[in-house]
């Protein structure tokens, strides 16, 4: 895995666009498999529940969308990292269903952007303070790998 995209190992050669487009439905299937009664139960002490993972994904979709737009609009921007655990402090009381609705809406909006921007914008550079130089395409690949990482967590919760 590269420093720029620590999630690239999750991609396993699959088309990134297909991963991104299928994630909302895959999340809904994982929620159904986990069951409403278990969505707010963490799998272990100190771990996020399925509902919290869905909230995190909605937050990340917002952040990724900003990073993508910033990379398109600016020359070599520095994209802002964030502390996911501090952001997670706001998740209490947010339902998994609501988080999925938000994620799906933001993902649809971001997919529209990607459709318009790629492949022409793939090589546009950005700088991440923790990961170094990235391209627009690296950000897109990071989104897909991040999806697969969390989908894997949700599938393990469903199987438990």
Averaged over 39-67, what is the pLDDT? 97
Q: What's the pLDDT at 72?
A: 98
Kindly provide the b/e burial profile for residues 53-89, where b requires at least 16 CB atoms within 10 angstroms of the residue's own CB. Answer: bbbbbbbbbebbbebbeebbeeeebebeeeeeeeeee
41 Cβ neighbours under 8 A, 6+ residues apart: 49
User: Is this structure's pTM higher than 0.75?
Assistant: yes
Averaged over 60-87, what is the pLDDT? 96
Confidence bin at 44 (pLDDT 50/70/90):
very high
Residue 35: which region, alpha, beta or left (left: phi > 0; alpha: psi -120 to 50)? left
Q: What are phi and psi of 48, to 5 degrees?
A: -75, 145
Q: What's the pLDDT at 1?
A: 55
DSSP state of 11: T
111-148: pLDDT as tens digits: 999 999 999 999 999 999 999 999 999 999 999 999 99
Based on its alpha-carbon atoms, the radius of gyration of the chain, rounded to whole angstroms, reads 16
Structure tokens that stand for 107 in this block: 């993902």
Structure tokens that stand for 94 in this block: 């947010």
Give me the residues paired with residue 78 across strands: 127
74 Cβ neighbours under 8 A, 6+ residues apart: none
Domains of the chain: 8-159 (1.20.120.450)
Q: Is 132 exposed, middle or buried (0-12, 13-18, 19+ CB in 10 A)?
A: exposed
d(CA 108, CA 147): 14
């Amino acid at each position: 895995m590269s420093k720029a995209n620590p999630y690239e190992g999750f991609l396993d050669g699959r088309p990134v666009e297909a991963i991104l487009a299928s994630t909302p439905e895959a999340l809904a299937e994982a929620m159904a498999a986990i069951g409403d009664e278990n969505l707010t139960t963490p799998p272990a002490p100190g771990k996020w529940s399925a509902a919290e993972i869905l909230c995190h994904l909605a937050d990340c979709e917002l952040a990724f969308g900003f990073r993508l737009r910033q990379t398109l609009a600016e020359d070599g921007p520095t994209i802002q990292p964030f502390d996911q655990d501090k952001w997670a402090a706001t998740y209490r009381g947010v339902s998994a269903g609501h988080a999925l609705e938000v994620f799906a809406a933001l993902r649809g909006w971001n997919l529209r952007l990607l459709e318009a921007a790629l492949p022409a914008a793939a090589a546009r550079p950005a700088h991440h303070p923790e990961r170094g130089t990235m391209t627009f395409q690296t950000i897109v690949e990071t989104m897909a790998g991040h999806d697969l990482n969390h989908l894997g967590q949700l599938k393990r919760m469903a199987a438990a």
